[in-house]
Chains A and B, each alone.
Chain A
Amino acid sequence: MIAKSTGAIGAHNAKVMNRLELTRRVVEKLKRDEAVIGGIGNANFDLWASSQRPQNFYMLGSMGLAVPIALGVAIAQPKRHVIALEGDGSLLMQLGCLTTVAQQAPKNLTIVVWDNGMYQITGGQPTTSATVADLVAIARACGIANAAWAADEADFDRLAAAALKGEGPSLIAARIDSKPGAEKIERDPVQIRERFMRGLGVKGGAASGA
Chain B
Amino acid sequence: MTEQARANTWHDVVLATLKSNNVKLAVYVPDRVLTPLIKALHADPFFTTFATTREEEALGIVTGAWMGGVHGAVLMQTSGFATIPNALASLVVPCQIPALIFVSERGTLGEFNLGQAMVCKTMRPVLNSLAVENITITRQDELAFILDRSIKQAVATQAPVTFILSPLLTGGKVFSASMRA
Contact = CB atoms under 8 A, between A and B. Distances in A.
Most buried by A among B59, B67, B89, B96: B67
Q: What band does the interface of chain B fall in when counting residues whose beta carbon is under 8 Å from A? A: 35 or more
B80 to A, nearest CB: 13
A68 B64 contact: yes
B30 interface: no
A99 B22 contact: no
Given A76-B68, A77-B68, A193-B67, A68 B90 contact: no
Contact of B95 (A77, A189, A202, A210): A189
Contacts of A62: 56, 60, 86-87, 90-91
Contact of A190 (B22, B52, B67, B95): B95
Given A73-B68, A99-B53, 14 more contacts: A60-B90, A65-B56, A68-B61, A70-B64, A72-B25, A76-B65, A76-B66, A76-B69, A96-B52, A97-B52, A100-B51, A190-B94, A200-B67, A205-B158
Contacts of B156: 205
23 contacts: A35-B68, A62-B60, A63-B86, A65-B57, A65-B59, A68-B59, A68-B63, A69-B61, A70-B64, A71-B61, A72-B64, A73-B68, A75-B64, A75-B70, A76-B25, A77-B68, A96-B57, A100-B57, A196-B67, A200-B69, A204-B158, A207-B71, A208-B21
Does more than half of chain A's interface fall in helix, strand or loop, or is it mixed? helix
A40 B56 CA distance: 15
Contacts of B21: 208
A103 interface: yes
B42 to A, nearest CB: 13
A80 B89 CA distance: 29
